[in-house]
Amino acid sequence: MEVLNLNLHKHKNKRKLANVLVICFLGFSLFLLSGCSLLNFSKGSVEGYVYEETIVDTRPLEEALVSITGSPNTALTDTDGYFRIDEVSIGARTLTITKANYITYKIVNVVIKADEVTLIDNGNPIVIRAVNDKYQELINDYPDSLYADDAQLGIGNCYYATYDYSHAIETYQKAIDNYPESPLLALAQYSIAQSYRKLENYGQAVIEYNSVIDNYPESSYPAASQYYIGYSYYLAQDYTQAIFEFQLTVDNYPDSIWPGESDWLIAPFAQYYIGWCYGQKLGQWSDAITAYQLVIDNYPVSTWGNGQEIPPDAQYQIGWSYEQLELWAEGITAYQLVIDNYPGSTWGGGGSIPDDAQARIEWINDNHPPS
């Protein structure tokens, strides 16, 4: 009888324990679900104004469709160009504005906060442009005109200028398909490649750039295309292939200039990026030093697109590369060359390269004084 009572007591305890565990599990599940609900269903709103560009000014654009990622809701602008979308999930979102015969406009990284209304650009209107009807009218009315291909390219350029790269690609392709004898084919093909790169479709961009090189070798665009093949691999983080492609730029197009420029060489850009890939991306610092030195030796007056000199940048990177190799004396020597040879040089942001070189010298002397 005692054994029976004991077993019964144990059974009851097990049932109590099981009940407690069930209650705990349900409570924890409800907690998780409520937490997830708070996370997933935190909402905010976005509002702003949309205007259209006119010949003399801008004016409110009515009935433009506004959408935003993170919400199924959309809005049509009113007579004042005003819109508001509620129930938008919090986070960084992309706002899109569309209307027939207007160029699609996108704004990325619109930050939505819980229970707040995000006002686009502090209430300043978003200005969008109509597709240039004059271009399309010329194409429709005068398909055999000497300027029809220019008009087709112009439409593509309008899309490209407003970051609507998908439509730009379609339009540039029409220029190639519809005007096979046009002198603008190389530019259209190059623009297709640039658009794919802007869309971060680097594989397709490489294919399109190679089409420029293969099909239009006598045009102004093969050298720039070869450089951007290297840069596409760089953006795709395939640094070994990027080095190979940048080297082809240097070897095959040593004296080529950027399209539309008179004396702005492409090769120094490629040579610098060879050094950058070797050093900062692959950690092959000795190879980086060699590559950076070639920038200084072969392109002593080269500049970036913003007008800043490339050689002082390369000389500084040589010093930094020596630091990574713990060759402190060589690093000091390299940094001193920045100070001596490029006293007025600046970074793209305006900071002084010699001042930074001096700071590195002082750091080395403080932490690794000569024995």
Q: For residues 146 and 285, state if they share a domain.
A: yes
What total number of domains does the chain contain? 2
If one counts every other C-beta atom within 10 angstroms of the C-beta of residue 71, the result is: 18
pLDDT by residue for the chain (371 residues), tens only, comes to 333 333 434 444 444 444 544 454 545 444 444 444 444 468 999 999 999 887 668 899 999 999 999 899 999 999 999 999 999 999 999 999 988 878 788 898 899 999 999 999 999 999 987 765 555 555 565 566 566 788 888 888 888 887 889 889 998 999 999 889 999 999 999 999 999 999 999 999 999 999 999 999 999 999 999 999 999 999 999 999 999 999 999 999 999 999 988 889 999 999 999 999 999 999 999 999 999 999 999 999 999 988 899 999 999 999 999 999 999 999 999 999 999 999 999 998 889 999 999 999 999 999 998 77
The pLDDT of residue 128 is 86
Which of 111, 128, 145 lies at the terminal end of a domain, its last residue? 128
The pLDDT of residue 296 is 97
Asked if residue 128 lies in contact with residue 52, where contact means CB atoms within 8 angstroms, the answer is yes
CA nearest 107: which of 68, 80, 76? 68
Q: For residues 315 and 363, state if they share a domain.
A: yes
pTM of the model: 0.67
CA nearest 128: which of 205, 200, 54? 54
Asked if residue 84 lies in contact with residue 70, where contact means CB atoms within 8 angstroms, the answer is no
Q: For residues 118 and 148, state if they share a domain.
A: no
Q: For residues 174 and 272, state if they share a domain.
A: yes
Q: For residues 92 and 239, state if they share a domain.
A: no
Q: For residues 95 and 181, state if they share a domain.
A: no
Asked whether residue 358 is assigned to any structural domain, the reply reads yes
Rounded to 5°, angle at Cα 62 from 60 and 68: 100
Supply the range of the domain harboring residue 305: 133-367
Q: Can you spell out the DSSP letters for 183-200? A: TTHHHHHHHHHHHHHHTT
The pLDDT of residue 6 is 36
Asked if residue 190 lies in contact with residue 221, where contact means CB atoms within 8 angstroms, the answer is yes
The pLDDT of residue 8 is 36
Which of 97, 128, 159 lies at the terminal end of a domain, its last residue? 128
The pLDDT of residue 129 is 78
Asked whether residue 349 is assigned to any structural domain, the reply reads yes
The pLDDT of residue 133 is 56
Which of 77, 109, 128 lies at the terminal end of a domain, its last residue? 128
Q: For residues 252 and 316, state if they share a domain.
A: yes
Asked if residue 335 lies in contact with residue 319, where contact means CB atoms within 8 angstroms, the answer is yes
Asked whether residue 25 is assigned to any structural domain, the reply reads no
The pLDDT of residue 76 is 96
Asked whether residue 24 is assigned to any structural domain, the reply reads no
CATH of the domain at 59: 2.60.40.4130
